C-alpha cells in the first residue's frame, strides 16, 4: 500500500528538525541571490520554494574534490569510500532524472564504488517545482515531474505538503514525522492538476522538437556555422559543465602530505570545455580549437550519451544558460538554431 | 535504486614490482613488471594498463609483450610527462601500481587468423604492435604472408633493435624500415612510412592491416591503402588519447561518441569512417 | 640526504607573500623539517651566499636589482617566483603604462619622490630578467599552493598548476557571478588555483594570478557590450595586475 500523507507547513518544520537531530540532512538554502544545497542546521533555513540550485545535488554523490584512496610511496594503496548515511531534502524532478542517469553511468561497465557507496546511503526527498528557474525548459525535456528515482516526493498543495513515500528508506523517515493524516482524494486530485500544469508550463524556453529527435538532428549539423560563431565568444571557462547535473568528467591527482611519503589520490570535477581537457602527455591536444570543445559538449548531451545509454544527457534545468557569462550555453537556442538548418 | 555495490574499487591499483628497466633510446625505457600477487595480468595484444607511481599519479601505458610471456609483462615508456619522468627515475625493484588490462585488442585470435598481415607502425607505435607481432610469430602458421613496415625519425629512435634483426632475418616475414633523417652509418631507406608501401604486395581480399603511430601518420597511410583497394574494414588502428581512468568514466579519452578506453584503443577502421575526431 | 638550503629574497613588493609563508603556522614546522632556511629577512637575521633554492618575491625595478637577481640565479639550483609582483610584475607594473615615470613618482610619492631609494625604472617580472623554474601565483600567494609546490619540488616532480579560468573555482564555491551584480570580473580569463576567494567575499576577480593560456579577449569584448560596459573599463581592470601581459587571441 503506498503511503501518501498530507502535512501542514508547521509539521514539515518539526519533522525536518527531528531528522536533523538524528542524522546529516542537506537541504536547499538561500545563498546570496540564489540557492544552494548545504548541511541544514535548522528547518527554518530550508527553502522548498527555490527555483534552482547553483550546483546540482550530484555534488553529494560525486563530491567536487574527493579522496578516493590513500597511498604510501612504498606502493601501498588503500581505498577510501564514504559510508555515512545522509538525506537530501528538496530535489527537483529534473535533478531526480539526472541522478538516475548518473547512477547508470557510474554503474555501467565498471561499477564505481565511490559514487555508488554514497548514492546507496542517500535518502532523496524530492520536491515538486514551486518556482521555475529563469532558464528552465524542464517541460520540454519531460522532466518537470517525475515518477520514480526518489524515496519521498513532496508536493505543495494549499498550505501544506503531500508526502508521497515510495521506498523503505523513505518510510524510515516517517518515524520522525509522527501522526499525519493520509492525503484525501480532493488533495490528490489537486496534485494531479498541479502535475498537469507543470508538464505543460514549466518552460522559459521552448525546444522546437522532441528531446528524442536531438540525436537525429545532430547527425547532419557537425559543420554548422553556429559552432565556430558561438565558440568565438566562449571563454572555455567550464561554467556550463560545472553546474550541469549530467556532467561527470573528472581529473585525478596525487597529493603527498608533509611526510613526503604518504598522501591521497584525489579526483576533482573536470570540464570538457577547458583548453587542456583532451591534451595527452607530450602536449598534443586532440580538441585544440575552442569550437571543437564547444561542439563536443552539445553532441555529448544530445547524441553521444544517447548512443551509449539511450538517454538525452540534458534535463532542462537551465543552469548552464544562467551560468554562462557569454550567453552561448542555452541548449534550447542552440538546438533550435540547428533546426533552422 | 537497487543495492548493488560491487566491493571492488575499480581505481585501486594492484601492487607490482619493476623487475627490469633499461633504456631503449634516449627517451624510451623498457620495463619488465611482475604483479606482487603472482597472478598473470591476462591481457591480449593491443590492450593497455594504468601505471601508478604513488605520489606522482597514473598514466595509461600500452602493453608491449605478448601474453605468451608469462609471469611478467613488458611496457615501454617515453619520458614525456610527470608520471613517465618519475617512472624513468625509478630503480629496478621499485614498486608500481597497476590497473588493467583495459581496452580492445588486435583481433589476432579472430579476424586476423588465416589472413595476410601487414603491420605499419611509426615511432613508439611499435610498442603495442610488438605484442601482436610476437603473438603472431609464435603462431606463424596461423597467418598468411606477413610484412612489417617501421618508420622512425632517426635510426637512434628505433626500438627493440635486437628483435628487429630477428624479424629481418626471418624468411617468412618481410621487414622494411625507413627513417625521416639518416645518420652517418645509415644505409637504409630515408623518407616517410608511405614510401615503403609500394614495396609490399597487398591484396584487397586477404590483407589485414594493423596501424599504430603518431597522429599525423594515419591519414596518409590509410589513403595510400585505400588507393590500393584495401577495404576499410580490413584495417585496424590503435589510437592514443588521454585514458585517465581506463574504465569509461572520466571523459578525457572520448573520440566523438567513442571512449578510447572501452571501445578502443584498437578500432576497426570501418567504425571510424564517420568519426571526424578519430584521425 | 641533507636538507636543501633555501633563501628568500624580496625585491619591490609589500612582502605580503613572505608573510603568507610565515603565517603557515603548524605547516611551517613541517616545512622546516624538510628545508634549511639560510636567508629570510622577515623571519631570521642570518644571510648566506650558499643556497640550493632561491625564492624571489617582488618585481624588478632598478638596474642594481637586475644585477642582484642575476647573481642569485647564478648561485641557486632552483629559482621560484613568489607572488604576482614576481610572476607578472604585479601592481608595480602599472607604472609602465605611463610615458613619464617621473610624473608617476611625483603623483605617488609627492615631495618624497626625490628620495634615492625610490629610484625606479621600467618594472619587470622576474622571468623577464632570469629563467624561472617554478611560479607561485597570486596577490598574495595561497600558502596551501606554496606548500604543494615545495612538496612537489622536494619529491622531484613538477607541480600541476591550473590552466583554466577562475570561474571553475568560483562555481565550485557556488558564488554568484560578479557580472550578475553588474561588475566586471576578470575570472573568465584569469588562471584558477586560488579557490576564488574574492568573488566569495563579494569582490570581482582582479586577475592577480595572470591570464590562462589563450584567454578569449575577443569574447571578453562581446561580454562587455552585453553588460553595458566598455572595453576601456575592461582594460583598466586588466591593467592592475596584467600591464604589459601578452593578450593572444584565441
Check if the beta carbon of residue B104 is closer than 8 Å to that of residue B170.
no
Asked whether residue B1 is domain-assigned, the answer is: no
What is the number of domains present in chain C? 2
The C-alpha cell 508521497 sits at A164
* pLDDT in the model for residue B5: 42
Shortest distance between the Cα of A60 and any Cα of chain C, in A, equals: 13
Please state, in angstroms and rounded to a whole number, the distance separating the CA atoms of residues B99 and B97: 7
Pick the CATH number of A3-64+81-201 from 3.40.640, 1.10.8, 3.90.320, 3.40.50: 3.40.640
Q: Which residues pair with C71 in a beta bridge?
A: none
Domain end among B70, B102, B134:
B102
ipTM over 0.90: yes
* pLDDT in the model for residue A153: 98
- For B92-101, how does the pLDDT look when each residue is reduced to its tens digit (9 = 90+)? 999 999 999 9
Shared domain for C16 and C110, answered yes or no, is yes
Best A52, A66, A237, A320 member to test C by mutation, with max C CBs in 10 Å, is A237
Residue whose C-alpha is closest to residue A125's, from A162, A151, A99, A146: A151
* pLDDT in the model for residue C248: 37
pLDDT tops 60 at residue B3: no
CA A1 vs CA A58, A179, B100, B156, B195: distances in Å: 31, 17, 47, 76, 76
Q: Which residues pair with A266 in a beta bridge?
A: A67, A253
Q: Report chain B's mean pLDDT, rounded to a whole number.
A: 95
Flag whether residue C131 sits within 8 Å of chain B, measured between CB atoms.
Answer: no
Check if the beta carbon of residue B144 is closer than 8 Å to that of residue B206.
yes
Shared domain for B45 and B90, answered yes or no, is yes
Asked whether residue B4 is domain-assigned, the answer is: no
Shared domain for C140 and C181, answered yes or no, is no
Domain end among C116, C132, C155:
C155
Shared domain for C175 and C230, answered yes or no, is yes
**pTM (2 d.p.):** 0.94
Please state, in angstroms and rounded to a whole number, the distance separating the CA atoms of residues A168 and B167: 66
Using DSSP, state whether C233 is helix, strand or coil: helix
- For A84-93, how does the pLDDT look when each residue is reduced to its tens digit (9 = 90+)? 999 999 999 9
Average pLDDT over residues C162-172: 96
Shared domain for B258 and B145, answered yes or no, is yes
Asked whether residue B137 is domain-assigned, the answer is: yes
What does the block give as the cell for A84? 555515512
Residue ranges of domains in chain A? 3-64+81-201, 211-250+271-339
Average pLDDT over residues C39-48: 86
Shared domain for C115 and C29, answered yes or no, is yes
- For A54-80, how does the pLDDT look when each residue is reduced to its tens digit (9 = 90+)? 999 999 999 999 999 999 999 999 999
Average pLDDT over residues C99-115: 86
Shared domain for B169 and B217, answered yes or no, is yes
Of C171, C180, C219, the CB nearest to A326: C219
- DSSP of C91-142: GGGGGGGSS-HHHHHHHHHGGGGGSGGG---S-B-GGGTS--SEEE-BTTB-
Shared domain for C170 and C151, answered yes or no, is no
Shortest distance between the Cα of A219 and any Cα of chain B, in A, equals: 10
Shared domain for B178 and B41, answered yes or no, is no
Shared domain for C53 and C137, answered yes or no, is yes
* pLDDT in the model for residue C239: 87
pLDDT band of C44, cuts 50, 70, 90: confident
Q: Report chain A's mean pLDDT, rounded to a whole number.
A: 96
pLDDT tops 70 at residue C228: yes
Domain end among C122, C155, C188:
C155
CA C52 vs CA C72, C147, C210: distances in Å: 10, 17, 27
The C-alpha cell 608520471 sits at B83
Please state, in angstroms and rounded to a whole number, the distance separating the CA atoms of residues A239 and A227: 18
Asked whether residue B216 is domain-assigned, the answer is: yes
pLDDT tops 50 at residue B2: no
Shortest distance between the Cα of A240 and any Cα of chain B, in A, equals: 16
Tell me which chain B residue has its CA closest to the CA of residue A257.
B55
Contact C155 B55 (CB under 8 A): yes
- For chain B, the chains sharing at least 3 beta-carbon pairs closer than 8 angstroms are A, C
Check if the beta carbon of residue B115 is closer than 8 Å to that of residue B208.
yes
Higher-scoring residue by pLDDT: A218, C226: A218
Measured at the CA of A29, the angle between CA A314 and CA A135, to 5 degrees, comes to: 35
Of B9, B80, B245, the CB nearest to A113: B9
Residue C135's domain spans which residues? 5-155
Query: Percentage of residues in chain B with pLDDT exceeding 90?
Result: 95
What is the number of domains present in chain B? 2
Shared domain for C20 and C140, answered yes or no, is yes
- For B143-202, how does the pLDDT look when each residue is reduced to its tens digit (9 = 90+)? 999 999 999 999 999 999 999 999 999 999 999 999 999 999 999 999 999 999 999 999
Asked whether residue C248 is domain-assigned, the answer is: no
The C-alpha cell 538554431 sits at A337
- For B246-268, how does the pLDDT look when each residue is reduced to its tens digit (9 = 90+)? 999 999 999 999 999 999 999 99
Please state, in angstroms and rounded to a whole number, the distance separating the CA atoms of residues A287 and B4: 36
Shared domain for B128 and B90, answered yes or no, is no
Shared domain for B68 and B169, answered yes or no, is no
Asked whether residue B225 is domain-assigned, the answer is: yes
* pLDDT in the model for residue C115: 85
C-beta neighbour count of A21 within 10 angstroms: 9
Asked whether residue B109 is domain-assigned, the answer is: no
* pLDDT in the model for residue C246: 54
Of A36, A242, A326, the CB nearest to C223: A326
Give the E-state strand segments of chain C in sequence order.
5-10, 36-40, 53-57, 78-82, 134-136
* DSSP assignment letter at A183: P
Burial of C217 (0-12, 13-18, 19+ CB in 10 A): middle
Shared domain for C17 and C80, answered yes or no, is yes
* pLDDT in the model for residue B7: 66
Please state, in angstroms and rounded to a whole number, the distance separating the CA atoms of residues B87 and B53: 7
* pLDDT in the model for residue A137: 98
Q: What sign for the dihedral angle of Cα C238, C241, C247, C250?
A: negative
Domain end among B80, B102, B124:
B102
Please state, in angstroms and rounded to a whole number, the distance separating the CA atoms of residues A274 and A292: 11
Query: Percentage of residues in chain B with pLDDT exceeding 70?
Result: 97
pLDDT tops 50 at residue B6: no
Residue whose C-alpha is closest to residue A176's, from A206, A152, A207: A152
Shared domain for C233 and C137, answered yes or no, is no
* pLDDT in the model for residue A1: 63
Please state, in angstroms and rounded to a whole number, the distance separating the CA atoms of residues C70 and C64: 10
Please state, in angstroms and rounded to a whole number, the distance separating the CA atoms of residues A116 and B258: 24
Residues of A in contact with B6 (CB under 8 A): 111, 113, 116
* pLDDT in the model for residue C1: 62
Measured at the CA of C10, the angle between CA C9 and CA C12, to 5 degrees, comes to: 150
Shared domain for B199 and B263, answered yes or no, is yes
Q: Report chain C's mean pLDDT, rounded to a whole number.
A: 91
Contact B89 C156 (CB under 8 A): yes
Tell me which chain C residue has its CA closest to the CA of residue A258.
C30
Shared domain for C147 and C176, answered yes or no, is no
The CATH number for C23's domain is: 3.40.50.700
Flag whether residue B190 sits within 8 Å of chain C, measured between CB atoms.
Answer: no
Shared domain for C185 and C127, answered yes or no, is no
- DSSP of A188-215: HHHHHHHHHHHHHH--SS--SS-GGGHH
- For A162-192, how does the pLDDT look when each residue is reduced to its tens digit (9 = 90+)? 999 999 999 999 999 988 999 999 999 999 9
Tell me which chain C residue has its CA closest to the CA of residue A253.
C160
- For C59-102, how does the pLDDT look when each residue is reduced to its tens digit (9 = 90+)? 999 999 999 999 999 999 999 999 999 999 999 998 888 888 88
Tell me which chain A residue has its CA closest to the CA of residue C216.
A235
Residue B234's domain spans which residues? 116-272
Longest pairwise C-alpha distance within chain C: 60
* pLDDT in the model for residue A8: 96
The C-alpha cell 589513403 sits at B223
Shared domain for C17 and C112, answered yes or no, is yes
Asked whether residue B211 is domain-assigned, the answer is: yes
pLDDT band of A257, cuts 50, 70, 90: very high
pLDDT band of C250, cuts 50, 70, 90: very low
Please state, in angstroms and rounded to a whole number, the distance separating the CA atoms of residues C119 and A27: 58
Check if the beta carbon of residue B60 is closer than 8 Å to that of residue B50.
yes
Residue whose C-alpha is closest to residue C46's, from C90, C95, C6, C88: C6
Of C155, C165, C222, the CB nearest to A237: C165
The CATH number for B75's domain is: 2.40.30.10
Please state, in angstroms and rounded to a whole number, the distance separating the CA atoms of residues C230 and C241: 19
C-beta neighbour count of B162 within 10 angstroms: 6
Flag whether residue C2 sits within 8 Å of chain B, measured between CB atoms.
Answer: no
Shortest distance between the Cα of A186 and any Cα of chain B, in A, equals: 31
Rg (CA), chain A: 21
pLDDT tops 60 at residue C22: yes
Domain end among C127, C155, C183:
C155
Average pLDDT over residues C18-37: 93
The CATH number for B218's domain is: 3.40.50.80
Please state, in angstroms and rounded to a whole number, the distance separating the CA atoms of residues C44 and C62: 25
Check if the beta carbon of residue C137 is closer than 8 Å to that of residue C84.
yes
pLDDT tops 70 at residue B4: no
Amino acid at each position: 500500500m503506498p503511503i501518501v500523507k498530507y502535512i501542514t507547513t508547521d509539521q514539515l518544520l518539526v519533522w525536518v528538525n527531528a531528522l536533523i537531530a538524528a542524522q546529516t540532512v542537506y537541504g536547499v538554502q538561500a545563498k546570496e541571490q540564489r540557492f544552494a544545497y548545504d548541511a541544514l542546521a535548522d528547518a527554518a533555513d530550508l527553502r522548498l520554494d527555490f527555483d534552482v540550485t547553483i550546483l546540482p545535488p550530484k555534488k553529494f554523490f560525486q563530491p567536487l574534490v574527493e579522496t578516493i584512496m590513500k597511498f604510501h610511496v612504498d606502493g601501498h594503496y588503500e581505498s577510501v569510500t564514504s559510508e555515512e548515511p545522509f538525506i537530501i531534502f528538496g530535489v527537483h524532478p529534473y535533478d531526480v532524472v539526472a541522478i538516475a542517469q548518473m547512477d547508470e553511468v557510474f554503474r555501467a561497465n565498471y561499477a564505481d564504488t565511490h559514487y555508488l557507496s554514497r548514492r546507496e546511503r542517500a535518502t532523496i526527498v524530492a520536491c515538486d517545482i514551486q518556482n521555475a528557474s529563469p532558464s528552465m525548459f524542464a517541460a520540454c525535456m519531460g522532466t518537470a515531474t517525475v515518477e520514480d528515482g526518489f524515496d519521498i516526493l513532496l508536493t505543495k498543495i494549499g498550505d501544506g505538503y503531500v508526502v508521497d513515500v515510495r521506498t523503505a528508506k523513505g518510510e524510515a523517515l516517517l518515524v520522525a514525522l509522527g501522526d499525519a493524516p493520509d492525503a484525501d482524494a480532493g488533495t490528490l486530485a489537486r496534485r494531479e492538476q498541479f502535475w498537469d500544469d507543470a508538464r505543460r508550463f514549466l518552460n522559459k524556453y521552448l525546444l522546437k522538437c522532441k528531446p528524442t529527435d536531438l540525436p537525429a538532428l545532430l547527425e547532419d549539423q557537425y559543420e554548422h556555422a553556429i559552432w565556430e560563431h558561438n565558440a568565438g565568444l566562449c571563454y572555455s571557462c567550464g561554467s556550463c559543465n560545472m553546474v550541469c547535473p549530467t556532467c561527470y568528467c573528472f581529473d585525478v591527482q596525487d597529493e603527498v602530505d608533509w611526510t613526503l611519503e604518504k598522501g591521497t589520490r584525489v579526483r576533482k570535477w573536470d570540464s570538457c570545455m577547458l583548453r587542456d581537457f583532451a591534451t595527452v602527455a607530450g602536449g598534443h591536444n586532440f580538441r585544440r580549437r575552442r569550437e571543437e570543445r564547444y561542439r563536443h559538449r552539445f553532441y555529448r548531451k544530445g547524441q553521444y550519451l544517447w548512443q551509449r545509454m539511450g538517454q538525452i544527457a540534458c534535463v532542462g534545468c537551465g543552469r548552464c544558460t544562467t551560468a554562462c557569462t557569454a550567453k552561448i550555453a542555452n541548449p534550447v537556442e542552440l538546438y533550435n538554431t540547428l533546426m533552422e538548418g | 535504486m537497487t543495492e548493488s555495490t560491487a566491493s571492488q574499487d575499480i581505481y585501486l591499483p594492484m601492487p607490482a614490482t619493476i623487475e627490469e628497466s633499461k633504456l631503449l633510446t634516449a627517451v624510451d625505457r623498457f620495463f619488465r613488471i611482475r604483479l606482487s600477487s603472482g597472478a598473470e595480468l591476462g591481457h591480449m595484444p593491443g590492450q593497455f594498463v594504468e601505471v601508478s607511481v604513488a605520489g606522482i599519479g597514473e598514466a595509461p601505458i600500452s602493453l608491449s609483450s605478448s601474453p605468451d610471456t608469462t609471469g611478467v609483462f613488458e611496457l615501454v615508456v617515453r619520458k614525456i610527462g610527470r608520471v613517465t619522468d618519475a617512472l624513468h627515475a625509478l630503480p629496478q625493484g621499485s614498486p608500481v601500481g597497476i590497473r588493467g588490462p583495459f581496452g580492445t585488442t588486435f583481433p589476432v585470435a579472430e579476424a586476423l587468423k588465416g589472413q595476410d598481415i601487414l603491420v605499419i607502425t611509426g615511432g613508439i607505435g611499435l610498442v603495442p604492435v610488438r605484442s601482436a607481432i610476437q603473438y603472431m610469430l609464435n603462431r606463424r602458421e596461423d597467418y598468411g604472408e606477413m610484412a612489417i613496415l617501421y618508420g622512425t625519425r632517426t635510426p637512434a629512435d628505433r626500438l627493440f633493435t635486437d628483435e628487429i634483426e630477428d624479424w629481418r632475418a626471418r624468411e617468412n616475414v618481410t621487414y622494411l624500415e625507413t627513417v625521416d633523417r639518416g645518420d652517418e652509418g645509415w644505409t637504409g631507406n630515408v623518407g616517410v612510412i608511405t614510401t615503403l608501401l609500394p614495396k609490399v604486395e597487398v591484396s584487397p581480399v586477404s590483407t589485414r592491416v594493423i596501424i599504430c603511430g603518431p597522429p599525423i601518420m594515419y591519414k596518409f597511410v590509410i589513403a595510400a591503402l585505400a588507393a590500393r583497394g584495401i577495404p576499410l574494414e580490413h584495417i585496424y588502428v590503435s589510437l592514443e588519447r588521454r585514458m585517465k581512468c581506463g574504465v569509461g568514466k572520466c571523459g578525457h579519452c572520448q573520440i566523438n561518441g567513442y571512449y578510447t578506453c572501452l571501445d578502443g584503443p584498437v578500432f576497426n577502421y570501418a567504425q571510424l569512417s564517420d568519426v571526424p575526431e578519430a584521425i | 640526504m641533507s636538507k636543501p638550503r633555501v633563501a628568500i629574497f624580496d625585491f619591490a613588493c609589500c612582502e605580503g607573500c613572505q608573510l603568507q609563508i610565515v603565517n603557515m603556522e603548524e605547516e611551517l614546522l613541517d616545512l622546516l623539517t624538510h628545508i634549511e632556511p639560510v636567508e629570510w629577512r622577515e623571519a631570521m637575521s642570518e644571510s648566506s651566499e650558499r643556497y640550493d633554492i632561491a625564492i624571489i618575491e617582488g618585481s624588478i625595478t632598478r638596474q642594481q636589482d637586475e644585477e642582484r637577481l642575476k647573481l642569485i640565479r647564478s648561485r641557486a639550483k632552483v629559482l621560484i617566483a613568489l607572488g604576482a609582483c614576481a610572476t607578472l610584475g604585479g601592481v608595480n607594473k602599472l607604472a609602465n603604462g605611463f610615458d613619464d615615470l617621473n610624473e608617476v613618482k611625483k603623483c605617488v610619492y609627492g615631495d618624497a619622490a626625490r628620495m634615492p631609494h625610490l629610484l625606479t625604472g621600467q618594472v619587470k617580472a622576474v622571468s623577464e630578467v632570469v629563467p624561472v623554474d617554478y611560479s607561485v601565483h597570486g596577490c598574495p600567494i595561497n600558502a596551501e599552493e606554496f606548500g604543494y609546490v615545495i612538496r612537489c619540488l622536494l619529491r622531484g616532480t613538477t607541480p600541476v598548476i591550473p590552466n583554466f579560468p577562475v570561474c571553475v573555482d568560483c562555481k565550485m564555491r557556488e558564488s554568484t557571478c560578479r557580472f550578475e551584480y553588474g561588475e566586471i570580473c576578470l575570472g573568465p580569463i584569469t588562471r584558477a588555483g586560488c579557490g576564488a576567494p574574492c568573488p566569495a567575499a563579494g569582490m570581482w576577480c582582479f586577475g592577480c594570478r595572470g591570464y590562462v593560456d589563450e584567454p578569449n579577449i575577443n569574447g571578453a569584448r562581446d561580454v562587455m557590450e552585453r553588460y553595458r560596459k566598455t572595453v576601456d573599463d575592461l582594460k583598466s581592470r586588466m591593467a592592475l595586475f596584467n600591464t604589459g601581459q601578452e593578450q593572444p587571441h584565441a
